[in-house]
Structure 1
Amino acid sequence: MKNIAIIPARSGSKGLPDKNIKMLSGKPLIAWSIEAAISSGVYDEVMVSTDSEKYADIARSFGAKVPFLRSAEASSDTSSSWDAVREVILKYQELGQNFDTFTLLQPTSPLRSADDIKGSFDQMLDKNARTIVSVCETEDSPYTCNTLPESMSMQDFFIEEYKNTRRQDLPKCYRLNGAIYLSKVDEFLKDGDIYASDCYAYIMDGTRSVDIDTDFDFKIAQLLIEEGILG
């Protein structure tokens, strides 16, 4: 089985300029995902999809391949990471390289470990899955969350069954953490539906599930790394 890791690193971050190459504990953000992918030992190719030659040079310096730059169409504000994934797979096929699986490793999840990546592959084999998606336990239970009407009434806020349930006794719930999307190439190219049948979860520890979008998120990740308290 041939496997490719795809790390998307568009240069046009709106919220946090140059987020993908911002220094985190002495390394550019994208380097954390590159090194975890290489260290996992499961990939035949670890590549960065970027529209920037500057980003490409940084990625190569940490061992990633950047055989081509991302197109303008796949780099626009309206394009998704899945547009970039499809472009990467098809361009590699044009170069005569075919893969059985791809893993989308977003650089904004720098605390995802090589063991997490290997664990997702183990889960794929164990479940005979088409797709594995990483999740973590929710910080706040959806059983204590709801929308509010204009009146701000709390009358129907709670599910009656759990109205007086202690927080620790509520059903355990999980959320997508954005760290790992592992899928079979052929199936993805057919319909692009990551969450189709035969999609299974890989559970990660919450401390490794930090998703960097703001400077505050950066500071949290930095603290977890420097204090050595990753789960």
Structure 2
Amino acid sequence: MANNLAIIPARGGSKRIPRKNVRPFMGKPIMAYSIEVALKSGLFDEVMVSTDDEEIIGIARQYGARVPFVRTETTANDHATLADVIREVMERYEEEGKVFDNVCCILATAPLISPEDIRSSYDRLVSSDFVTVYPVVAFSYPILRALQMDAEGGMTMRWSEYAKTRSQDLETMYHDSGTFYWHKVAPWRAGIQRRGGIVVDESRVQDIDTETDWKLAEMKFRMLHG
């Protein structure tokens, strides 16, 4: 059986919503939901939190995640990417003699995803030649009808050839849900880019960068869970 690792990146610094990763969301720290969904999926040999923050370490352990090492200053700054964090975690585990076949990077602010989302994405990953699989959401309005605005406020269609095409005849386009990412470790680290996706409903996805975003996420949570 494959060895799977869940990584939940949760650094202490957050500019737009201070202390976002530990802020209470519907009764518990928002990052607790990501830990719980990973554990409930039943897929992981280890669920770990990558952080540089003592409070986050305490919360991570309280909800059942491991924090085997502290994130370095290099990956705790504003410029580090998720890929940088994953590579650092892989290298640290290898120093301890641990190697994983697959890794799932779950964002700390994704309280609307479910264990079934994690499992269905994993099934697609292991049953295909995809190196990366992640959930996507259909754009709520046909993107081929996009409008452009000039400096004076004038509007033009980005793709005017679709001006008279019926909405139902336009191709469905998708965007990244920004919630989690599965990778096959070896080919991903080798730079092979073969991506696949699963479609999730927009009711289970919400970017949380502003106070309005936070309130929308709470509204969606109530709608999903009553």
TM-score (norm: length of structure 2) = 0.93
Instruction: Report the counterpart of residue 223 of structure 1 in structure 2.
Output: 219
Instruction: Report the counterpart of residue 67 of structure 2 in structure 1.
Output: 66
Q: Does 1:17 align with 2:5?
A: no
Offset, 1:166 = 4.0
Instruction: Report the counterpart of residue 87 of structure 2 in structure 1.
Output: 86
Instruction: Report the counterpart of residue 202 of structure 1 in structure 2.
Output: 198
Q: Does 1:139 align with 2:140?
A: yes
Deviations, residues 153-205 of structure 1 (Å, cap 9, x unaligned): 445x25233202344443211101111210111122223x6xx1x31111111
Aligned equivalents of 2:34, 2:61: Cα separation in 1: 13
Structure 2, unaligned runs of 5 or more: none
Instruction: Report the counterpart of residue 163 of structure 2 in structure 1.
Output: 163
Structure 1, 36-45 or 214-223: larger mean CA deviation: 214-223
Deviations, residues 128-148 of structure 1 (Å, cap 9, x unaligned): 321112111112322122433
2:176 partner SS: strand
Aligned equivalents of 1:205, 1:80: Cα separation in 2: 26
Q: State the one-letter code of the partner of 1:217.
A: D
Aligned equivalents of 2:6, 2:47: Cα separation in 1: 5
Identical pairs, percent: 37
Q: State the one-letter code of the partner of 1:106.
A: L
Question: Is the 2:21–2:109 contact (alpha carbons within 8 Å) kept by the matching residues of 1?
Answer: yes
Question: Is the 1:53–1:69 contact (alpha carbons within 8 Å) kept by the matching residues of 2?
Answer: no
Offset, 1:83 = 1.0
> Aligned pair count?
225
Q: State the one-letter code of the partner of 2:206.
A: V
Q: State the one-letter code of the partner of 1:175.
A: H
TM-score (norm: length of structure 1) = 0.91
Instruction: Report the counterpart of residue 49 of structure 2 in structure 1.
Output: 48
Q: State the one-letter code of the partner of 1:183.
A: H
1:228 partner SS: helix
Offset, 1:40 = 0.3
Structure 1, unaligned runs of 5 or more: none
Q: State the one-letter code of the partner of 2:30.
A: L
Aligned equivalents of 1:108, 1:147: Cα separation in 2: 31
From 196, 201, 209, the equivalent of 1:213 is 209
